[in-house]
């Protein structure tokens, strides 16, 4: 079935398009909007964006594959990103990542069996002064300890 935006998101798209000087400039915000609805950027989403913005599908796919914030396959209901940049690494992010992998029963890049959480790594989440840190969905969690990671993951897995 072809992808289509909900009526509410279609109104959001009209507002997005009004802010940009040309349709190509709206590609990234439109992809975010579509991903919010679909959970990931499927081939159908790429075709929808290309058709709507009057762009080659190769251009849209190039944007999707370049930026790591676009999911190219289905992901869990929540995404946990562990920062691995030098500042975080020096303050224990590798240990935090190993702990997350063990607690969730998945490796970085995988999704838990129930589809609840996808664990990922990021090269930098721009919070070097408060390392180690991770991002859960759109929220930053900084100056982390193993105990704090346990609390956050327990709350996440409990539906919080």
List pLDDT tens digits, range 25-38: 999 999 999 999 99
Residues 102 and 52 in one domain: no
pLDDT averaged over every residue in the chain: 95
Residues 21 and 92 in one domain: no
State the Cα–Cα distance between residues 62 and 110, nearest whole angstrom: 23
* Residue 71 located in a structural domain: no
Tokens of 12: 């959001």
Residues 113 and 83 in one domain: yes
Residues 82 and 56 in one domain: no
Spell out the SS3 assignment of the chain.
Answer: CCCCCCHHHHHHHHHHHHHCCCCHHHHHHHHHHHHHHHCCCCHHHHHHHHHHHCCCHHHHHHHHHHCCCCCCCCCCCEEEEEECCHHHHHCCHHHHHHHHHHHHCCCCCCECCCCCEEEEEECCCCCHHHCCCEEECCEEECCCCHHHHHHHHHHHHCCC
Per-residue model confidence (pLDDT) at position 50: 98
Is the predicted pLDDT of residue 94 greater than 80, yes or no? yes
pLDDT tier, 68 (very low <50, low <70, confident <90, very high otherwise): confident
* Residue 72 located in a structural domain: no
Is the predicted pLDDT of residue 4 greater than 90, yes or no? yes
From the list 7, 58, 52, the residue with the least C-alpha distance to 29 is: 52
Residues 60 and 82 in one domain: no
Per-residue model confidence (pLDDT) at position 160: 64
* Residue 46 located in a structural domain: yes
Residues 22 and 90 in one domain: no
Residues 29 and 88 in one domain: no
Structural domain boundaries enclosing 140: 78-157
Residues 48 and 84 in one domain: no
* Residue 149 located in a structural domain: yes
Count of the separate structural domains present in the chain: 2
């Amino acid at each position: 079935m072809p992808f289509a935006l909900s009526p509410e998101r279609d109104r959001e798209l009209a507002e997005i398009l009004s802010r940009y000087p040309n349709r190509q400039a709206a590609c990234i915000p439109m992809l975010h909007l579509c991903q919010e609805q679909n959970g990931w950027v499927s081939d159908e989403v790429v075709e929808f964006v290309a058709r709507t913005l009057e762009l080659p599908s190769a251009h849209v796919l190039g944007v999707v594959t370049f930026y790591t914030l676009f999911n190219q396959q289905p992901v869990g209901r929540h995404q946990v990103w562990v920062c691995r940049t030098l500042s975080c690494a020096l303050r224990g992010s590798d240990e935090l990542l190993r702990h997350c992998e063990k607690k969730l029963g998945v490796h970085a890049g995988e999704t838990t069996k129930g589809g609840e959480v996808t664990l990922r790594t990021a090269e930098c989440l721009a919070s070097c002064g408060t390392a180690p840190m991770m991002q859960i969905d759109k929220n930053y969690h900084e100056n982390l300890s193993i105990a704090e990671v346990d609390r956050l993951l327990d709350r996440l897995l409990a539906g919080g």
